[in-house]
Structure 1
């Protein structure tokens, strides 16, 4: 009897706690979908019925007349922004209040430039990475990319000549992996015709994560406070997962390199930072240049240069296969430009491929690689022209998938139409409704 009473009281306490949690937006007068206990509005995603992109797009479309919507990611309050003017405030105008992202460092690479919190530390580390992404650097690495492209063409011809079917994402991954190998690590690998140590290390570390990730992410939705308490333990577990990749990178760090060699450009850059006189680096900057940080930054850049371009290029090929007329225009333009430049890939040649660039931009609109941009305020913030004050650390979501498929901003939004990005049409696109790389100081580095 006593045990039954205790269980009953415990259940009542839990129920009242969750009633309080899920009254957060109602008390602020913010409209949104009804949450469910423990999972909030994420039940379709957690139970595999919808992707997160489709879930957020569905919620976005349910409230066409609202500037923002209140929802819950598990027990976490989330403010979903729909109004481009509010998005501009968060991403650019009042960025100083929204410099942090929502990614939990417990679950991710804690010192990655993408996950760091704190405006000063994040900004300092980003400045160290920025020199890698200049036009002059790009022009110097193009010969390495052309070599990978030649190997890609040989492999495709081999598949055609031998009547072999091949999954397109896997094919694109091989091409991107060869580029990652040479440009990030300075390692000549052959993902087309042979096995390689680099791919195994990447997959084992992150692409096929340890089973612990699944319960970790669910716990992050349902009980983030418990996850925060256990953060040191999970950090140790994640570092153990990094060990195989870490040993691999450490062996490369210790190899002699030529700074004028554009292969292994990223690793060269990181090792040079480590070797600088400590007087050049202030205390916040110096944290980036130990071996553990080099491993984490290298893995982050490698994955960003591997998986995302593989998916995007696969989607572009898919759309071109469906739209033969667009494919033919691309082919004619590429052929013409390469004939003009004697078959050599150069920055000037790329800049002359205007239609191909339009195809790329339309693919990013229809298939954004980041379906949501996230920020969290570092202090209480009142949205202008509203009565809403957003509390510190409340998640702010900007649903790129919803915005870029909104018929209010794009006519026939599900149609693949590169002409949207003709010069005379591109200027008509409403600002802050096309966000494939984010916007503002924390936009995508690449």
Structure 2
């Protein structure tokens, strides 16, 4: 028999694809529905942009989707139009054999050895961020820090992905920053177009519609083309992501469009996720001064043992930093819903239920991370949940900020490194404080494709 799912009319459409005209963020909608069904069924159904989808509540079924029966759920079901929108054909969106071959090519670019090569570029940008913040810290001014962190990560990604030394901090009108805003802060018209693409993907493809705005796509394609031409003409090599793609092109084969698309998704993912983790971690550190002080003590002790230097190895040595980082992702998973698509009928083990082919699969990460069955007092920020001893006892597939299985985020090492360097530099140099504009309790911006604070994140820095 087919799996019969109760459906819901989503009057306030989920925000995880940047929709318009709704009152709550997708994480809040799915948390409410998850709480209704988590003890009744392994999954519940929703209409998502006029398509039937299944939201999973059971960790064992999540394991089936992510790992055990990956061959049945290897697609994400995202819109791809390689002809009209070549940047859409990147690793995150592709499926099937195309994804498999591209993943095999790109995986070696994200080893710890490659991260060490990129490490100095990230530290350089983090030092500029500290320098930029110093005048605000002198006067202990209220500051909207999400934009600061976004400028920092944009600067890092433009350097590491594209090989460009572009000062974005304190320069929100830089071309890279303006283009990144068009991707993560779309207009109402763009949002309506995105809704149409999700609801009618085949029609949208037939109409040659683009998921990525043409102006943004032209900018990225032009940057890649100019940088490749410059490097080839001047015999320039650089320890960055673009150089790794050039090496793949020269040894295994990679088209210009593939280089451009995967540089684009590296920028897209690395920019927003890392800046958001920094936003929420510094928010919690400001509200929990004891945790902030303990983290600062660890940072200073580890740096002292390493001759006063921040190195790749010293960042990896900071265990409490890792606990703070993971608790931030537990409480504020940047991607609040993981997406998959069934490619064939799948019989759920130990039941007579079948998930039909072409069903959208949604993993409500935020809801699972806030389930009191797995995390006592889930609204409390408590890094002690991630001691080595407790992590060993953690029920698998109840902490999934980067997904799991073969489609786990390929760039998690880089994103983690970038965010941790930023946090270390901030905590080492400043006391982070709440201010009159700080959101207490937290409220999320409904249209945001990621979890984002409503009205930005306002904090104060005091120079140490």
User: TM-score under structure 1 normalisation?
Assistant: 0.83
CA offsets 1:360-390 (integer angstroms, 9 cap, x no match): 0000000001111111111111111122211
1:342 to 295, 307, 310: 307
Structure 1: give runs of 5+ residues left out of the alignment.
1-26
- Decide whether aligned partners of structure 1 residues 238 and 117 sit closer, same or farther in structure 2, where only a CA change above 3 A counts: farther
Deviation at 1:238, TM superposition (A): 4.3
Q: Distance in 1 between matches of 2:361 and 2:223?
A: 37
Match of 1:306 in 2: 271
Q: Distance in 1 between matches of 2:345 and 2:211?
A: 33
Report whether the alignment pairs 1:59 with 2:41: no
Match of 2:367 in 1: 402
Report whether the alignment pairs 1:247 with 2:225: no
Q: Distance in 1 between matches of 2:237 and 2:400?
A: 35
Q: Distance in 2 between matches of 1:111 and 1:305?
A: 17
- Decide whether aligned partners of structure 1 residues 141 and 29 sit closer, same or farther in structure 2, where only a CA change above 3 A counts: closer
Question: Within 5 A, what are the aligned runs for 1:104-115?
Answer: 104-105=79-80, 109-115=87-93
Larger Rg: 1
CA offsets 1:344-374 (integer angstroms, 9 cap, x no match): 1222211221001000000000000111111
1:322 to 282, 287, 295: 287
Q: Distance in 1 between matches of 2:189 and 2:150?
A: 25
Q: Distance in 2 between matches of 1:108 and 1:371?
A: 27
1:125 to 102, 106, 123: 102
1:388 to 353, 356, 359: 353
Secondary structure of 2:45's aligned partner: strand
Structure 2: give runs of 5+ residues left out of the alignment.
412-464
2:286/2:292 contact within 8 Å kept: yes
- Decide whether aligned partners of structure 1 residues 275 and 380 sit closer, same or farther in structure 2, where only a CA change above 3 A counts: same
CA offsets 1:4-25 (integer angstroms, 9 cap, x no match): xxxxxxxxxxxxxxxxxxxxxx
1:40/1:74 contact within 8 Å kept: no
| Bigger RCO (CA 8 Å, 6+ sep) | 2
- Decide whether aligned partners of structure 1 residues 427 and 105 sit closer, same or farther in structure 2, where only a CA change above 3 A counts: same
Deviation at 1:340, TM superposition (A): 1.0
Match of 1:445 in 2: 410
Report whether the alignment pairs 1:412 with 2:412: no
- Decide whether aligned partners of structure 1 residues 418 and 253 sit closer, same or farther in structure 2, where only a CA change above 3 A counts: same
RMSD, aligned CA: 2.4
User: TM-score under structure 2 normalisation?
Assistant: 0.80
- Decide whether aligned partners of structure 1 residues 28 and 96 sit closer, same or farther in structure 2, where only a CA change above 3 A counts: closer
Q: Distance in 2 between matches of 1:94 and 1:395?
A: 15
**Structure that is richer in helix per residue:** 1
- Decide whether aligned partners of structure 1 residues 431 and 343 sit closer, same or farther in structure 2, where only a CA change above 3 A counts: same
Q: Distance in 1 between matches of 2:123 and 2:198?
A: 44
Q: Distance in 2 between matches of 1:50 and 1:331?
A: 35
